[in-house]
Amino acid sequence: MSDDSKNVPRTVSVLVPTPSPVPYTYALPDGVSADPGAIVQVPLGPRQVAGIVWEVGDNGNDIDPAKLRPVTTVFDCPTLTPDMRRFIAWVSRYTLSAPGMVARMVLRAPAAFEPEAPVAGLALTDERPQRMTSARERVVALAAESSPMAWTRSGLAHAAGVSLSVVDGLAAAGTFEAVTLPPTAIVAPPDPNHGPPDLHDSQARAAEALTGDIQADRFAATLLEGVTGAGKTEVYFEAIAAAVSAGRQVLVMLPEIALTQAFIDRFEARFGAPPAPWHSDLPPKTREKVWRQVAEGSVEVVAGARSALFLPFADLGLVIVDEEHDAAYKQEDRVYYNARDMAVVRAKLADCPVVLVSATPSVETRHNALEGRYRHLRLDRRHADAALPDVALVDMRQNPPARGGFLSPVLLDAMAQTLEKQEQSLLFLNRRGYAPLTLCRVCGHRFACENCSAWLVEHRFRGQLQCHHCGHHEPVPEACPECGTFDHLVACGPGIERIAEETLTHFPDARVIVLSSDMAGGVKRLRLEMEAIAKGEADIIIGTQLVAKGHNFPLLTLVGVVDADLGLANGDPRAAERTFQLLSQVTGRAGRTGRQSLGLIQTFQPDHAVLKACASGDAEAFYAAQLAERERGRMPPFGRLAAVIVSATNRPDAEAHGRALRAAAPSSSDITVLGPAEAPLAMVRGRHRFRLLVHGSERADMQAYLRAMIATAPNPRGSVRVAVDVDPQSFL
C-alpha cells in the first residue's frame, strides 16, 4: 500500500433502513469513493438495500476494512445536501426514531437512484440524400427550421406527416445522425410572469412582505391568515414567483393533495405549467422522475403531501404549508411526526423562508405569531364580492327532528328554500357509512370488530358491516348471529348514508350526491363528483370532512352541520380546536361568490363556547379562551406532551411492559408520567394497546427523558412493540 492510498478513507458509515440507533460501517472497494450524502447499495443480511452515506472514514476507530462487507454500488445520483442530512438527523433526534428509518422515507423511489435513460434522437446533418422526394423534402425542411433542436424518430415523422420509413431512409442516407436527447422533464418550468394577479391592498402588502423574505434569502417564518376566500393562495403564489425568479426550488405542502385538482388548475393559470406532484397515489414511474428531477434541481416547484418534506431538494428556497392546521399533516406510522412542525425545521436548516397558511390556524401557530416568533400577515377582506355566510345555532332541544330522523324542521325549511332558488345545500356529518352501530332488537347483540375494540359500521350502499380502524368487513347477516332472529337488526345513530336516505324522503326529486373517501371509484370518482357539483349538477351534497377541504362550489349557499356535538364529545384535549376549525371551514364553503348564504349548526349544547364562537365568527375570542385554558392546564404550547404506546398480541404483555416503562421513568421536577392506561382504542388490528402520557413544562427536555426511560426499561420481548409519539395529536 502506498502512502497516498493510506490517506484515502476505505470505510463509510451508512444509514440503512433498520431500527438500529447508529449507522452501519461498510468497506469501500478499491478505486471507489463516496461523499457524505451519497446514495449507495449495500448488503444487509441476505438482502441488498439502499442507504445514505453518513460519514466517510472510521473516525479513528481503526476498523480493518478487510473485515467489513463492501459497498455494492455508489449510485450515479446527486448527493444529499448538508441541510438535508441535518434534517434527517434532527427528525431522528426529535421523534426518537432510528436515523435509518428516517432515511428510509427519503429513499422511497428506488429506481430513481440511477440516471434516467437518455432518449434516442435524430439531428439534421449537412448531408442531403441523392434522391429527394416531396416527403423527404418536408422532413428536411421541418428539421432545418427547428434546428438545432433534435427530434425523436416518431416525433419527426408525425410532425412532418410522413411514415417512419421516410425518416429511416434519410437517417440511412446520412441526412440525420443519431444523438441522445435529455430525459423529458416531468413538468414544464413555471413562468413567474405568465398570469400576474390583480391583488387588493392587504394582499399586495402581504405579498410584498413575503417577496422581501425571498430577497433577504434567509430563514423567516410567517403565518398568513385570512378567512376562506380572502385570497391567501394568490399571495403566496407571489412568494413562489419570487423564489422561482431567483432560481430557487419551492415546496408547497397540502393535505390530501390527490383531491386538490382545483389547486393544480389555479397554479397552472398563474404559472403556465403545473407543479410537480408528490403523494402516495403517484404511479411509480412518475414518482421516480419527480424524485430524480428534484434531486437534480430541474424541478422548480413541488406540490405534495406530508412525505414531500423528505424529497432531496438540490436548492430549497421556500416552503409553504397550506391549511397548516390540518390533522392530515400528522403521521402516526413508524416515524411519528407533524409535517407542519418539521417543515419549519426543514426551512430553518435550509435557511430559507417558510409560510404557514390557514383560515383557522392551530392554537400553537397562533401562539407563535402572538409571541412574535412568527410574523403575522392577515388578509381581512374577503376577495371580490364574496360574503361570509350568516351562521346560526339550531337548538335541537327546541327543534327536535321527526321520529327516527336527524334533520330539524329549521334546517329542512332552509333546504326547501334553497332548492326553490335553485341553489345548493351541503349537509355535513363527520361519520361515514349508514349507522355507527348496529344491534339486534331481540337480544341486544352488538356487532363489534373481531380485531379491534370498535363497533362495526353499517355501509348500506355496499351491504357491509365495516371496521373503520382495520378495514375488516363482513356482509350484513340476515339473521342475528347471537339469537338467530331474522330481520331484527337496527341501525343506531346517523352516518352520511342514512342522512342521504332521510333527505330523499323529504326531497324526493332533488339531485343528491354523497361524498365520502370510501365510496367505490376512489379519487377519480371524487374528482368527477366535485366537478359535477361545481357545475351545478347537484342540489344537495352530503359529505364527511372531505368537503371541508378547499373545494370551490359557487352555487352553494346553505351549509347544515348535522351533529356539531360529535367532535366535542371524545375527551381529546384538541377537540375544541378541531371542532372550531372544521365548522369554520365547512360553513366557509357557502357563499363564495357573493350570494346571500347561511350556515346552520345543529347542537344539543348551544351554550358551548366553541359553538358560540363558530356562530358569532369571533375567532379572536375563541383563540383567547383556548390559550387561557391551555395555559391553566400547562398544555401545549405552554407545556409539552409525548405519548408512549405499548402494544402486544396479548393484553398482559402489553400492560406489563407499560408498567416496566413507568417504573423506569426517571424522577424529574418538571416532567410527570401518567399511566399506563388501557388506550381508548384498546385493540387495533388484533393488538392490545396501553398508553403512557408524558407531560413536561415548556422547557423540559422531553427527548432526553424519554430516551432514558426506554433505555432503563427492559427490552421489549415477544410481540411487544413500543411507539413514541412526541407532540401527539390523537389520544386514542
Q: Is 452 in the site for Zn ion (CB under 5 A)?
A: yes
Give dist(CA 229, CA 387) in Å, integer: 9
The smaller minimum CB distance to Zn ion, of residues 69 and 441, is found at: 441
Q: Which of these segments, 38-46, 459-467, 502-510, 720-728, binds Zn ion (CB under 5 A)?
A: 459-467
Q: Smallest gap, in angstroms, from Cβ of residue 479 to Zn ion?
A: 8
**Nearest CB to Zn ion, comparing residues 471 and 633:** 471
What is the DSSP annotation of 686-697? TEEEEEEEEEEE
Stretch that binds Zn ion, among 37-45, 285-293, 460-468, 546-554 (CB under 5 A): 460-468
Between the alpha carbon of residue 516 and those of residues 192, 278, 282, 500, the distances in Å are 36, 22, 21, 12
Residue range at the interface with Zn ion (CB under 5 A); choices 130-138, 378-386, 448-456, 585-593:
448-456
Cell of 603: 347542537
Residues 560, 414 contacting (CB under 8 angstroms): yes
Dihedral sign, CA of 365, 367, 368, 374?
Answer: positive
Q: Give kind and range of the element (H or E) at residue 309.
A: none
Q: How far is the CB of 649 from Zn ion (least distance, A)?
A: 15
The type of residue at 562 is V
Question: Nearest distance from residue 470's CB to Zn ion, in Å?
Answer: 3
Per CB under 5 A, does 480 bind Zn ion?
yes
Nearer to Zn ion, 256 or 482 (CB): 482
- Select the residue interacting with Zn ion from 168, 191, 217, 482 (CB under 5 A): 482
Tell the smallest beta-carbon distance from residue 274 to Zn ion (Å): 38
* 114 or 332: CB nearest Zn ion: 332
The piece of 148-156, 166-174, 433-441, 497-505 that touches Zn ion (CB under 5 A) is 433-441
Q: Which stretch binds Zn ion (CB under 5 A): 377-385, 420-428, 473-481, 665-673?
A: 473-481
Q: Is 523 in the site for Zn ion (CB under 5 A)?
A: no
Q: Which residue in 334, 376, 378, 445 binds Zn ion (CB under 5 A)?
A: 445
Which residue is it, cell 433498520?
18
Pairing, β 390-395 against β 375-379 = unpaired
Question: How many CB atoms within 10 Å of residue 354?
Answer: 25
All three cell numbers of 6, joined, read 493510506
Q: Which of 492, 502, 498 is nearest to 516 (CA)?
A: 498
User: Is the CB of residue 560 less than 8 Å from the CB of residue 415?
Assistant: yes
Residues 263-302 that bind Zn ion (CB under 5 A): none
Q: Does 469 bind Zn ion (CB under 5 A)?
A: yes
Among 440, 465, 542, 611, binds Zn ion (CB under 5 A): 440
| 460 sits near Zn ion (criterion: CB under 5 A) | no
Determine which residue in the list 483, 528, 569, 674 makes contact with Zn ion, applying CB under 5 A: 483
Residue 427 · residue 542 · CB < 8 Å: yes
* Position 473 contacts Zn ion (CB under 5 A): no
**548 to 567, contacts with Zn ion by CB under 5 A?**
none
Closest contact distance (angstroms) between CB of 443 and Zn ion is 3
Binding residue for Zn ion (CB under 5 A) from 467, 496, 530, 613? 467
Strands 301-304 and 330-333: unpaired
Residues 36-55, interacting with Zn ion (CB under 5 A):
none
For the CA atoms of 448, 451, 457, 460, the dihedral, rounded to the nearest 10 degrees, stands at -110
Residue 687 Cβ vs Zn ion, minimum distance, rounded to whole Å? 11
Q: Does 448 bind Zn ion (CB under 5 A)?
A: no
Q: Confirm or reject binding of residue 470 to Zn ion (CB under 5 A).
A: yes
Please report how close the Cβ of residue 384 comes to Zn ion at its closest, in angstroms: 47
End-to-end, the C-alpha distance of the chain in Å comes to 61
Residue 663 has φ and ψ, to the nearest 5°, of -65, -30
Residue 472 lies near Zn ion (rule: CB under 5 A): yes
Does 442 bind Zn ion (CB under 5 A)? Our answer is yes
Candidate segments 277-285, 321-329, 464-472, 629-637, binder of Zn ion by CB under 5 A? 464-472
**Could you give the 3-state DSSP secondary structure of residue 615?**
helix
Tell me which residue of 276, 269, 303, 308 sits closest to 290, measured CA to CA: 276
DSSP string, 230-293: S-HHHHHHHHHHHHHHTT-EEEEE-TTGGG-HHHHHHHHHHHSSPPEEESTTS-HHHHHHHHHH
Strand 390-395 with 424-428, pairing:
unpaired
The contact pattern for Zn ion, residues 632-661, with x = CB under 5 A and - = no contact, is ------------------------------
Judged by CB under 5 A, which stretch of 53-61, 259-267, 440-448, 709-717 contacts Zn ion? Answer: 440-448
Q: 79 or 438, CB closer to Zn ion?
A: 438
Cell of 365: 401557530
Q: Is the dihedral of CA 647, 652, 655, 660 positive or negative?
A: negative
Question: 303: closest CA among 251, 262, 232?
Answer: 251
CB 252 within 8 Å of CB 320: yes
For residues 477 and 633, which CB has a smaller minimum distance to Zn ion in the complex?
477
The minimum distance between CB 449 and Zn ion, in angstroms, equals 3
Considering only the stretches 98-106, 304-312, 476-484, 650-658, report the one whose residues sit in contact with Zn ion under the rule CB under 5 A. 476-484
- Where does this chain touch Zn ion (CB under 5 A) — which range of 96-104, 446-454, 521-529, 687-695? 446-454
Shortest distance, CB of residue 471 to Zn ion, whole angstroms? Answer: 7
Nearer to Zn ion, 195 or 484 (CB): 484
Interacting residue ranges for Zn ion, rule: CB under 5 A: 440, 442-443, 445, 449, 451-452, 467, 469-470, 472, 480, 482-483
